[in-house]
Amino acid sequence: MFARSFVRAARPAAASMKARAFSTGARASAAAGSRMATFATAGAIATGAATFAYYQNSQSPIQAGSKPIAGVKGSFSERTFIAVKPDGVQRGLVAKIISRFEERGYKLVGLKAVVPSKELAEEHYADLKSKPFFGGLVDYMTNGKAPVVAMVWEGKDVIRQGRVMIGATNPLDAAPGTIRGQYTQVVGRNIVHGSDSFESAEKEIGLWFGKAGELIDWTSANEQWILSDN
């Protein structure tokens, strides 16, 4: 009985959330000149009763710019940009990468599949413009043979911890147990990206997720069990 009324009540809210996530996605897409499909951003997150209540009581489940786009540096609200690159998507490693962050207790606040425009990829990797592999890197990110799965994760020290979890850029130097140390062999196909500083996170989240409109500010029921100090 409860379950049925919950589902019935949830339907219109979920539908409006999806519509809103889609329209903000479309706006950002137009801005970045990218082809993208926003999926599961609002719908998959809003599965728990507590989260549902939060959405139900909220006029706008989509963040309206109340929080800085990369959260607050060094706080529980710090955010990082993590992307599964096309080789990771082709190899079916998206769920494994998401699981690592989820199981660590980090909170998923943004998720979408994107084939980025050349301009977006060039801006993302602007600091590598002079490198001989730059053209190939941009082509591999943008050729559409597979999308990039772009994500924003939130939690304590998530920028630094995200880099540790991902491992060194060159798989030869990546420690066993890190994502690259477990799944990759060569630097040109190292399956995942993570912001390397707060400033990079601000820039990258802004580039890939527009003006924070696509990010969902929600409260995890587990937060006190993951983030409390004695």
Q: According to CB under 6 A, which residues from 96 to 155 bind ligand ATP?
A: 128, 133, 137
112: Cβ–Cβ under 8 A, 6 or more apart, which residues?
25, 36, 37, 38, 39, 41, 149, 150, 209, 214
Please say whether the beta carbons of 175 and 168 come within 8 A: yes
What is the C-alpha to C-alpha distance for residues 146 and 161, in angstroms, rounded to an integer? 27
Q: Is 11 annotated as a binding residue?
A: no
Helix or strand or coil: residue 150? strand
Cβ–Cβ < 8 Å for 17, 55: yes
In three-state secondary structure terms, 226 is helix
Q: Rounded to whole angstroms, what are the CA distances from 1 to 8, 56, 85?
A: 11, 19, 44
Known catalytic residue at 124: no
Distance CA 141, CA 132 (A): 16
Residue 190 among known ligand-binding residues: yes
- Per-residue interface string for the shown chain with ligand ATP, residues 150-169, x marking contact by CB under 6 A: -------------------x
| Binding residue (CB under 6 A) for ligand ATP from 188, 199, 221, 223 | 188
16 lies in the site for ligand ATP, by CB under 6 A: no
Span interacting with ligand ATP, options 98-106, 115-123, 182-190, 204-212, rule CB under 6 A: 182-190
Residue closer to ligand ATP, measured from CB, 25 or 171: 171
Contact range with ligand ATP by CB under 6 A, out of 53-61, 188-196, 210-218, 221-229: 188-196
Q: Give the closest residue to 107 by CA, choosing from 153, 143, 64.
A: 153
Q: Does 90 bind ligand ATP (CB under 6 A)?
A: no
Residue among 79, 112, 124, 193 flagged as catalytic = 193
Site mask, ligand ATP, residues 42-61, x = CB under 6 A?
A: --------------------
Mark the binding-site residues for ATP, compressed into ranges: 85, 133, 163, 169, 180, 190
Contact residues for ligand ATP, defined by CB under 6 A: 128, 133, 137, 169, 187-188, 190, 193-194, 196
